[in-house]
Structure 1
């Protein structure tokens, strides 16, 4: 599945899409990413709606999706 010139698992950078409308304070830091990984925010459920497919990176052996 392709959207424009991007493959389904590639997304444009937020700054490229939104330009300068995003305040710099919203850029994630290394600590932010570490906390999200520790909280397992990137692990989705076993069921996946078709609208979420562009955001699924891969599936684990138990069927859970990685976002």
Structure 2
């Protein structure tokens, strides 16, 4: 993945977070998905393709989690 400009990124936090600062935030920029820890927004985010992000979500939803 190449470098993307995150200066204008619109970060989104899960509604399940309860408004605290203990969750994951995501932003879609130039067709890529940036993921960061809301406790440390100054750290470099993980950036993946939309397809990889969707595959991760699908895997989480498929479970099972033991």
Structures share fold, TM-score greater than 0.5: no
Which structure has the bigger radius of gyration? 1
Question: Which one scores higher on RCO, CA 8 angstroms, separation ≥ 6?
Answer: 1
The structure whose residues are more often strand, as a share, is 2
The structure whose residues are more often helix, as a share, is 1
- TM (norm. structure 1) is 0.29
